[in-house]
Structure 1
Amino acid sequence: MDSHRAAFVAEAEDGITDLNNALLALEADPEDAEAMDDVFRVAHTLKGNAAAMGYEDVSDFGHALEDLLDAVRQGDREVTPELMDLLFEGVDAVEAMVSEIADTGEVSTDPSDLESRLREMEEHGTVGGGEGDESGADDAGGDGEIDGTADADSDAGDPGADEDAESDEADAPDVSVPEPPAAAADLPEPVAYADVTIGEAKMAGVDAALVLQALDEQFDAHATDPDPEALEDGEYDERFDAFVGGTEPAVLAEGLEALTQVESVTAVALDGSADGEAADDAEGTAADATGDAVEETAADAPSDEADDEFDAADPEATGSEGVDGETDDADSEGDETDSGTDDSGPSSGGSDSKSGDEIKSIRVDVDQVDELYGLVEQLVTSRIKLRREIEGTDAESDALDELDKLASSLQDTAMDMRLIPFSQVSDSFPRLVRDISRDLDKRIDFEIEGDDVELDRTILTEMRDPLVHVLRNAVDHGIESPEEREAAGKDPTGHVELTAERERDHVIIEVTDDGGGLDPDQLRDKAVDEGVKSREAVEAMEDDEVYDLVFHPGFSTAEEVTDVSGRGVGMDVVRTTARDLDGSVSIESEPGEGSTVRFRLPVTVAIVKVMFVDVGGTEYGIPIKSIAEVARADDIEEVHGDEVVRHEDDLYPVVRLNERLGEVDPGAVEASAAASADETPAADGGVAVDDGTADAPGPDDAGDGGDEAGDPDDAGMLVRIREETRQVALHCDAVLDQEEVVVKPLDGPLSGTPGLSGTAVLGDGDVVAVLDVVSL
């Protein structure tokens, strides 16, 4: 994908999300003027950018969508469920077309039928219904024209146009012309001044570059404040001043007004002698000899040269996109270019004040970030090898210690660059919940908290579909119908909440509903009926264990299959995905009160600290974040024939790794790892295990591994896993050292092997299997 198309797609995707959320706010409160303005602004920007890129189908369809929104904004159409459904359907059509542009660069979707329905809704207030109220249809663009002509053209035959012109003349604002920049002194007479408003735009530099190019092509000469270089860098606050030579205000306003990037224009003659008659004819707005302003709102149509204009713009100059494609405004609060002040001069454009107007962000392709991280991993691996070689010669090097610090800092920076906010995924969920609740005739109050919590891009991408499935279940299975809720003494409107919270090196994501909850007895019966468990097994299970049955493949509590859920697929994939990401998922429920699905996920999957243990002469790794404490295996007891170890008031079953891992071929593990371990671990040994207790021995207390492994009288070591991960204690022969490693997934026949999460290649080239403590 070329850079221009990528920039368009990135902003369009953000705009679609913003439009969905603004429409949701408008639907919740039709009187919310701010929400209406947000809806109209985003739709206008989407349409304008599509026109600039030459995607006429998207632009024309966006024009119809914008006209309907304008009719709502003007009060000519009421916000009804039918209208909102049509608007949401229109947003979905735009999303489909943008997706096609991202994939192929072309639009294959034909939106003409939906476009006709949008026009019909705009003109008649309903679709397929008769003649309805057509008041204001002409003012709202109800003539159905989508050829991109200016609103002034569509008013040409309107008997009320003169009346509108008189109203505009009466309302025309007075404009105080700022001191021109030095470059304006060389402009040919007559000189016109224009106050050009771009509005809020995420590609501010691109929009300004297009306006500047249009000025170059249409007029003899011009000067701007800020200067062109600052404008193309996006260093302006939604508007700028333009001084154009050899033209009249009306002509200047007409030329700028035709650009989709321009939100509004106010033009006057620099000497105050505007041609009022010309302004009347061209703009429908009066400008008299005393310098009354010519003001016009940007036309909705693309110019014939829009595509060439966009191609001429440098997307790298925008400074508006973050590392992972998300876009940010180029200017931060309090760091704006001051334009139109009495102190303007040669330096007022910002070119000589770089310290105050620095570009705060740049756009970097995701693949480049991943490549950088891969190089960091290789650097750290080489550092480990170098240290081991130097230690083998009994030499010491301060330079190597300094290299350790620099490599660690570089590693942390590269990891932070991969982090993106949870909102990148969660912003699309309000629309999802709204659509499902309407399909099921349920009332849902949906809230999101913690959308600023950051996770690794890979984790967030993989977790989107599982979260969608859990939210669908919450609305379909969890929340009851309004009638059932009222009969149970509940509010007829159900509540679903999605929260994300940072907890040390993990993020906890929860989906909570106040619905009917899960009935453990019903789950037991279902498990027996479907052959998942025997009657004896389910009767012996605690309720918390019974809830986990919903993760079994093919298990569903739905009484009937619907389009939303109930096919018995999904929850097993949800658990598998969480485990593949080195995380976990659990369910808590209270019959009649609701349920909570809780995900525990690492902030990043790139690098993890592991403790190496010896099992029958083979080395394995256990993620340190899963370890509660390490102790000698002196206190193992036997209860009902099973080995356990006591910790406070809890019993932890003992899993002997030499028995559980007996069928895993270490040679096969090494072969599987060799294909994918080009770049591997970072290392920083000597990190103590945080066991949370004062007297629990850490790995240093357990020794370095050599003595324990070779002592035939030694009972071995116990690695107790954190309760929230799995209540179990792992028995091994010895505890060795610790390192940070990059865990690579297993390929080939060992892929998906229970108990193994992947492999790590150490600095000396040794391949070590990393254990999955949940599935052991």
Structure 2
Amino acid sequence: MSDEHRKAFVAESEEGITELNNALLALESDPEDAEAMDQIFRTAHTLKGNGAAMGYDSVSDLAHEMEDLLDEIRSGEIEINPELMDLLFDGVDYLSAMVDDIAEEGETDLDASGVEADLRELIETGEVPGASSDSDSDSTETESTDDADEADESDEADDEADDETDDSDEADESAADIDLPEELADYELDTGHAVFRATVGLGESAMQGVDAIFVLQALDDAYETFVTDPDRETIEDGDFEETFDLYLIDSSQEAIESGLSSLSKVESVSVTPVTAIVDDPMTAAEAAELDITDSATDAGDDEQTDDADSGSSDDAEQSEDDGDSDSDDSGGRSTPNRSKKDGTNIASVRVDVDQLDELYSLVEQLVTSRIKLRREMESAGMDSDNLDELDKITANLQNTAMDMRLIPLSKVVDTFPRLVRDVARETGKQVNFNVSGSDIELDRTILTEIRDPLIHILRNSVDHGIEPPEEREEKGKAPTGSVSLTATRERDHVTIEVADDGAGLDKEVLKEKAIEKGVKTQNELELMDDQEIYELIFHPGFSTAEEVTDVSGRGVGMDVVRNTVKQLDGTVTVDSELGEGTVVRLRLPVTVAIVKVMFVEVGGTEYGIPVKNIAEVTRAKKISETNNKEIIKHDDDIYPVLRLSDVLDEPSAVNGDGMLLRIRDEKRKVALHCDQVIDQEEVVVKPLEGVLSGIPGLSGTAVLGDGDVVAVLDVVTL
């Protein structure tokens, strides 16, 4: 098995497991949701087929048991209840763990026989194992046995029907190029369209089923409907000879041939018409009764007429390429979108994240080399328009590479509804969870790092925030609490808010805990405002939980949130109202690494300050003193002056005023004093790692064009 196939299987399975989780949540909230049930069934079936095709029998077997149970639920034989849903979620967890093993080791030895046995027992008895008393089990034993016998008889009947269908298929195989599949008989063809049969060959393939799955998935994106021969499950299992047939609705043989031929897994394609191309909308069955040859001849005559009218065969070819022939516009009907129906365009490809990281690393090196080249040319007194052009090209390449790293927030938050559901079940609470803004994109690195902090916040919202149903009712609230995750974007930053309508934070309790743990003194607490008191929850080991549980209360989590967000050059704040709820707000940059930095000099040493943090640069001429502290005034506001020479232990090299950099208010209300401002430019900023990470006042380092490494200052912790 190739590594490429394994990675593709893992990626498809991970998406399927997320879809399965969310569809199960929808079904749990509304057992009558037929769409959710169909989605669950389709996804379980796909996981089963993919696992079998790849040789992962444990995945296939478990998915098969789940599929059988879902079939019983869909037919109304088994009712949905919380215990049944717990068992299904257990099955999904096992599937997820198996896929994780396969991703890391290439195989899995996880034993899911226990949950498979429970699923099988539920199918056969109609009862969740361990969910009912012995007496209940005895009273329903005979009933369950009868149901099982009936199910066996039904299965036998289905098998016989399948055999008859298979015989019928074999009998009609010689006429497949002229017979219209029954599934398409009632399908209405648009003007200029017909049904075609495409015979697809995959050539020599070690895993026919896997290669066929990729082809069918591409067709799912390109066509509204199509029929396979043999059936889809057989093809996905690889149980076909060298070729299989597809029945597709399109406007020409060439469109189908070019679309299928562009797929890497396809070696040969042969397309023949099954119905005539229709002049007016009609069903496929009606079109099948028309003469295909006459239709093709008429179409050819129409093309010749069009060519004559246009006066140029070149123009006609251009019209055909554009997909806007005159016949398509007859009757005032517009041709359906070709990019969706014809399958000729592949809109996206999967790229390994390691390749993206390598590309980004190369772009970073290119940026550094560009800076080095410009500095050398400026030192030599040279200038060139070509260098300006290189700047533009590099900037565009940099933006493209950064955009490629952007991933929708949904990749992380789609797993959170299941998380909230499990924590609520474990704590005996009722919670509605809503997500908005999940389509907003963040850099892959940021998204990866922010996942665990968001999990900590959500767990706390449910465990600490939302009250038990009876307590909420006593307070006049609805028994079901509400937790929401909302993402919004403002320019180059994304704000993520996690809000709940629970008990809120009690300032007095926070103060007591702070004194008890020695975090703050009584005098210090009296001088703190509400915001500062709420932010005590970010202190390491600080927790208001009365008892330690598996969910939270160990005094870890919120300090991890703050540290992680700060390392990503973001901020985290808390707002709360006692009895009404709490909001935790994270503000994060969209991208990292390449930023515009202003370089300043202090005592002969160069330092960098991110330009986005600077509000104003002025000469230090209006510094005054108050209570032996240096300050400046700006728009009636007072800003304390922080001399970098003192902070960084660098002797100031200026005899005069120097320069002041006033920092943006939302970052820190302060003005930084330096000897001089050198320049500003885009550079690659590397965060500090290992023992150097977390040093107050430093956010990372920048490598300049001459090879010098410059420290980039963190104005918040400086």
Structure 1 residue 237 and structure 2 residue 237: aligned? no
The CA RMSD measured in Å over matched residues stands at: 4.1
Q: Distance in 1 between matches of 2:407 and 2:371?
A: 29
CA change 1:215–1:405 in 2 (3 A) is closer
Gap runs ≥5 in structure 2:
185-196, 207-211, 240-244, 246-260, 267-283, 300-319, 324-337
Residue number in structure 2 paired with 1:735? 677
Secondary structure of the structure 2 residue equivalent to 1:628: strand
Deviations 1:329-361 (A, max 9, x none): xxxxxxxxxx998789899xx999998612221
The equivalent position to 1:552 in structure 2, one of 536, 539, 556, is: 539
Structure 1 residue 720 and structure 2 residue 659: aligned? no
The equivalent position to 2:462 in structure 1, one of 448, 453, 475, is: 475
Secondary structure of the structure 1 residue equivalent to 2:685: coil
CA change 1:656–1:393 in 2 (3 A) is closer
Q: Distance in 1 between matches of 2:121 and 2:558?
A: 43
CA change 1:589–1:236 in 2 (3 A) is closer
CA change 1:209–1:738 in 2 (3 A) is farther
Residues 229, 351 of structure 1: 8 Å contact kept: no
Deviations 1:631-682 (A, max 9, x none): 3334445455544444445443332222222289xxxxxxxxxxxxxxxxxx
CA change 1:228–1:477 in 2 (3 A) is closer
Residue number in structure 2 paired with 1:146? none
Q: Distance in 1 between matches of 2:377 and 2:356?
A: 32
Residue number in structure 2 paired with 1:94? 95
For 2:701, the aligned partner's letter is T
Secondary structure of the structure 2 residue equivalent to 1:653: strand
Residue number in structure 2 paired with 1:134? 144
Residue number in structure 1 paired with 2:57? 56
The equivalent position to 1:581 in structure 2, one of 568, 571, 593, is: 568
Q: Distance in 1 between matches of 2:398 and 2:181?
A: 48
The equivalent position to 1:752 in structure 2, one of 662, 669, 694, is: 694
Residues 211, 256 of structure 1: 8 Å contact kept: no
The equivalent position to 1:538 in structure 2, one of 520, 525, 539, is: 525
Q: Distance in 2 between matches of 1:662 and 1:228?
A: 65
Tell me by how many angstroms 1:365 deviates. 1.3
Structure 1 residue 631 and structure 2 residue 573: aligned? no
5 Å-filtered alignment, 1:248-397, equals: 258-260=234-236, 317=265, 357-397=344-384
Residue number in structure 2 paired with 1:685? none
5 Å-filtered alignment, 1:3-152, equals: 3-128=4-129, 129=132, 130=137, 132=140, 134=144, 137-138=147-148
CA change 1:82–1:314 in 2 (3 A) is farther
For 2:72, the aligned partner's letter is A
Deviations 1:536-557 (A, max 9, x none): 1122111111122111111111
For 1:237, the aligned partner's letter is Y
Q: Distance in 2 between matches of 1:459 and 1:197?
A: 47
CA change 1:231–1:258 in 2 (3 A) is closer
Secondary structure of the structure 2 residue equivalent to 1:518: coil
Structure 1 residue 620 and structure 2 residue 607: aligned? yes
CA change 1:411–1:124 in 2 (3 A) is same
Residue number in structure 2 paired with 1:769? 711
Residues 368, 683 of structure 2: 8 Å contact kept: no
The equivalent position to 1:405 in structure 2, one of 392, 400, 420, is: 392
Residues 44, 63 of structure 2: 8 Å contact kept: yes
Deviations 1:126-145 (A, max 9, x none): 223425453995599x65xx
Tell me by how many angstroms 1:316 deviates. 5.5
Residues 654, 675 of structure 2: 8 Å contact kept: no
Tell me by how many angstroms 1:748 deviates. 6.0
CA change 1:125–1:240 in 2 (3 A) is same
Q: Distance in 1 between matches of 2:392 and 2:218?
A: 36
TM-score by length of 2: 0.76
CA change 1:485–1:644 in 2 (3 A) is farther
Structure 1 residue 455 and structure 2 residue 448: aligned? no
CA change 1:70–1:638 in 2 (3 A) is farther
Q: Distance in 1 between matches of 2:556 and 2:111?
A: 33
Deviations 1:595-627 (A, max 9, x none): 111111111112111111222222111111222
Deviations 1:555-598 (A, max 9, x none): 11111111111101111111111111111111111222211111
The equivalent position to 1:592 in structure 2, one of 572, 575, 579, is: 579
Q: Which has a greater percent of helix?
A: 2
Residues 197, 262 of structure 1: 8 Å contact kept: no
Tell me by how many angstroms 1:439 deviates. 0.7
Tell me by how many angstroms 1:216 deviates. 11
Identity of aligned residues (%): 59
Q: Distance in 1 between matches of 2:204 and 2:322?
A: 24
Count of aligned positions: 608
Gap runs ≥5 in structure 1:
144-152, 170-174, 176-183, 199-207, 218-226, 243-251, 264-268, 270-312, 319-338, 665-708
Residue number in structure 1 paired with 2:332? none
Secondary structure of the structure 1 residue equivalent to 2:144: coil
Secondary structure of the structure 1 residue equivalent to 2:686: coil
Tell me by how many angstroms 1:374 deviates. 1.4
Residue number in structure 1 paired with 2:647? 660
Deviations 1:722-767 (A, max 9, x none): 2222333322222221111111123565333211111101112222
Residue number in structure 2 paired with 1:331? none
For 2:427, the aligned partner's letter is L
CA change 1:759–1:228 in 2 (3 A) is closer
Secondary structure of the structure 2 residue equivalent to 1:759: strand
Residues 49, 233 of structure 2: 8 Å contact kept: no
Tell me by how many angstroms 1:443 deviates. 1.1
Tell me by how many angstroms 1:233 deviates. 6.0
Deviations 1:413-448 (A, max 9, x none): 111000000000000000000000111111111111
Tell me by how many angstroms 1:113 deviates. 1.1
CA change 1:444–1:657 in 2 (3 A) is same
Tell me by how many angstroms 1:48 deviates. 1.0
Residues 645, 651 of structure 1: 8 Å contact kept: yes
